[in-house]
Structure 1
Amino acid sequence: MAQVLVTGGTGFIGSWCVRAALDAGHTVRTTVRDPRREPELRARLHTATPFDDDRLTVVRADLEDPDGWGDAVTGCDYVLHVASPTLRRAPAHGDELLVPAREGALRVLRAARDADVRRVVLTSAFGAVGIGHPPRATPFTEEDWTNLDSDIPPYQRSKTLAERAAWQFIREEGDKLELAAVHPTGVLGPLLGPDDPPSLRLVRRMLEGRMPACPPFGMGFVDVRDVADLHLRAMTNPAAAGERFLATAGHSLRVIDIARILHDRLGERAAKAPTRELPVWLTRALGVVNPELRLLRHQLGRDLDATSAKAEQLLGWQARPIEDTIADTAESLLTRAIGA
């Protein structure tokens, strides 16, 4: 078993990666920005899975602070770099996301190289693959990159530039350090703790009746537990070195399809979920006054499909049915009463 560093251990994907690494028998070190959150993190992990406390170490490190990263990676065999700025609110300017995403990734890579880490697995996103392109009939693959010459939202731009910087670092300065990248589509699934991850906002608002109609677009979705599993496969499989891996469960889903699944699987508990889809023209008009709808402008009227064939064939990865994931997401949100 290995010593694994997971950055951003209190985050939605990060906490599931910590759990997956512990379940696999590894010794785990994880970074947090606020050390006061350590007791909460340990408690939620102990509730989710049995493990010896001495197999988990929590250290402080911040993407925007150069201090702490050398100590965080010392003695580690692998690094799962999950931590990244997220869209909990609209950024005031593009650099608010870009700088910590790109510079944070480079800090982790430099520290990992200097500590003789074998491989870093970078959590990128579909946002670094399939945004800013004209409509197409074929699914996006790992060969695609988001078009930075188009007017794309800050989050997708930050993920794209951070990943491009990471690959450039490996080519020019990485020495023996290996890199793999995981690109989840929309991440759903159950919560491990009390956080309110932005990726669950869609389902939460449906359940609360705060989405009277669905925006007209489709995209891929995937279970957070399967995303964590793919990180571990990309961490240890020799074939993963130097590769990108899309993570998605089947074909894209329209937002209205998610609402229909909620009605079907939860019945009356999903009574507030919408039953109709907005026209594209009306959604664009509402985007003038609604910043969140405005961020979706590149997706309206489209189905951004992607394929995980590469991860399935090269790493033996398999996503669970997305209908089960949507139901589990809703059950978790209802149990924790997120946003109520």
Structure 2
Amino acid sequence: MELVLLTGVSGFIAKHVALKLLNAGYSVRGTLRRMDRADEVRAALAPYLTEHAGELSFVQADLESDAGWAEAFQGVAALVHTASPFPGAQPKDPAQVIRPAVEGTERVLKAAAAAGVTRVVLTSSTVAVLNEAKPDTLQDEADWCDTHLPTTTPYARSKTLAERAAWEIAKTRGLRLTTINPGLVFGPPLDGHYGTSLALVERILKGRDPMMPLVGQPVVDVRDVAEMHLRALERPETIGRRYIAASGSMAFVDMGRTLKAAYPTRRIPTREAPQVLVRLLALFDPSIRTILPKLGHLERVSNARAVKEMGMEFIAPKAALLAAADWLVKHGRIRA
């Protein structure tokens, strides 16, 4: 079966993508910045692999260095590029996020083109879709984040500029590109390395905040995101198109109420915080500062293209949230 190069294989989404690809019979070569994480990835995937799974191997390569990429692409039929920095709080220097995301995407896609690998599936984000100049409107793949708005976060800029760079390289180098644009990714991780999105669920379960800000975002289950990468790879008709991965939107206060209903003995916030209080707290908490531009808005995107063209049947937002919470509780990440 074909060999797929999967960048950033140790990531939360990437591990699920690797599992989908392997169980579909593909061989997967995962890139790692540090080879000492190879055993971690193998251990995470092992319980879920079928007897017909493809072979898993690893290669050392870093988004910020040219070293190793030419070797990584040897014998590869397709690239799935998931690696990109995802900060819990926006950095003081936006370039810390933007530069590695954009330059890393350029480096990897140009290396693919140089190696004659033309089929590419790229993990982007709904932040590259959502235009803050159109708050509370249903947005779709025709929409793009406006990177020139002063309220656009460095993370949103990084994903938008990286995706635009990918489309430009695809155009000039003849790459057959598909992008997957996930919302806030919940669902169960395959191991304890789950990053920023599940850290939000952890924060709510721990009752760290007495109230919830009036903010809402598109939500998706990680298993659906992985399935969309597989379907994109296997369906030539997806080439040249973006696909939003989202099952609906949830306000943070609804996340709190959903989790409180599931875990009634836990001190979980269910009240909506006054906006003036959120702005005050943001002065002291960088992770709260991140959401200020979105305060008072429910961001909404359409998944119609993924449903129609990929045949996706999405896991509901509440089910994705509860699956994440259930994993965190069962694996001792939250004290009883």
| Alignment TM class, shorter chain as reference | over 0.9
* Sequence identity percentage: 38
Aligned match of 1:135: 135
The verdict on how the C-alpha distance between 1:183 and 1:54 changes in structure 2, with shifts beyond 3 A counting, is closer
1:339 positional shift: 6.8
Q: Which residue identity does 1:191 align to in structure 2?
A: P
| AA in 2 matched with 1:67 | A
Aligned to 2:253: 256
Aligned equivalent of 1:165: 165
1:229 aligned partner: 227
Which residue pairs with 2:300 in the alignment? 305
Structure 1: distance between partners of 2:332 and 2:157? 32
- How far apart, in 2, do the equivalents of 1:332 and 1:116 lie? 41
CA contact (8 A) 2:4 2:77 kept: yes
Q: Which amino acid aligns with 2:145?
A: T
1:48-95 CA distance string (max 9 Å, x none):
334579700011111011111111122111111000011044423111
Q: Distance in 1 between matches of 2:232 and 2:270?
A: 39
Instruction: Determine the C-alpha separation between the residues in 1 that align with 2:154 and 2:84.
Output: 13
The residue type paired with residue 299 of structure 1 is K
Structure 1: any 5+ residue segments left out of the alignment?
none
**Quick one: distance in 1 between partners of 2:255 and 2:93?**
31
**1:115-167 deviation per Cα after TM superposition (whole angstroms, max 9, x unaligned):** 2224111111011111432424x311000000111021111111111111111
Which residue pairs with 1:284 in the alignment?
279
Q: Is the 8 A contact 2:12 2:193 kept in 1?
A: yes
In structure 2, relative to structure 1, the CA distance for the partners of 1:110 and 1:302 (3 Å cut) is same
Conserved? CA contact 2:106–2:169, under 8 Å? yes
Q: Give, as a single letter, the amino acid of the residue that structure 2 aligns with 1:292.
A: S
Give the equivalent residue in structure 1 for 2:188. Answer: 190
Which residue number corresponds to residue 145 of structure 1? 144
Deviations 1:208-246 (A, max 9, x none): 121221111111100001000001111121111110111
Question: Match of 1:262, as an amino acid?
Answer: L
RMSD: 1.7
Q: Give the Cα–Cα distance (whole angstroms) in 2 for the partners of residues 339 and 122 of structure 1.
A: 33
Structure-2 separation of matches of 1:234 and 1:78: 11
The answer to whether the 8 Å contact 2:89/2:290 transfers is no
Name the CA shift for 1:54/1:128 in 2 (closer, same or farther; >3 Å).
Answer: closer
What residue in structure 2 maps to residue 78 of structure 1? 78
**2:301 match: secondary structure:** coil
Q: 8 Å contact 1:196–1:338 — kept in the other structure?
A: no
Q: Is the 8 A contact 2:23 2:53 kept in 1?
A: no
CA contact (8 A) 1:189 1:225 kept: yes
Query: Counterparts of 2:208 and 2:189 in 1: how far apart (Å)?
Result: 20
Structure 2: state its 5+ residue gaps. none
2:115 matched to which residue of 1?
A: 115
Task: Classify the secondary structure of the residue corresponding to 1:190.
Answer: coil
> Residue 148 of structure 1 aligns to a residue in which SS?
coil
Contact 2:205-2:334 at 8 Å conserved across structures: no
Aligned partner (choices 205, 230, 242) of residue 207 of structure 1: 205
Residue of structure 2 equivalent to 1:154 = 154
Q: Which residue of 1 aligns with 2:311?
A: 316
TM-score by length of 2: 0.95
TM-score, normalised by the number of residues in structure 1: 0.94
Give, in angstroms, the shift of residue 256 of structure 1. 1.0
Count of aligned residue pairs for this structure pair: 334
Cα distance in 2, alignment partners of residues 238 and 209 from structure 1: 46
C-alpha distance in 1 between matches for 2:51 and 2:113: 29
Shift of 1:317: 1.6
Contact 2:78 2:118 (8 Å CA) reproduced: yes
In 2, are the aligned partners of 1:179 and 1:241 still within 8 Å (CA)? yes
Distance 1:316-1:196 versus aligned 2 partners, 3 A rule: closer
- How far apart are the structure 1 equivalents of 2:43 and 2:146? 42
Other-structure match for 1:247: 245
Q: Which residue is equivalent to 2:57?
A: 57
Q: Structure 1 residues 215-224 or 189-198, which shifts more?
A: 189-198
Equivalent in the alignment of 1:25:
25
Aligned to 1:274: 269
Cα offset, 1:2, TM superposition: 2.1
Match status 1:179 vs 2:174: no
Change (3 A) 1:53 1:140: closer
Distance 1:323 1:88 in 2: 22
Q: Which amino acid aligns with 1:27?
A: S
Q: Distance in 2 between matches of 1:282 and 1:67?
A: 48
Q: How far has the Cα of 1:17 moved from its partner?
A: 0.5
Shift of residue 338, structure 1, vs aligned partner: 3.0
Question: How far, CA to CA, are the matches of 2:4 and 2:18 in structure 1?
Answer: 9
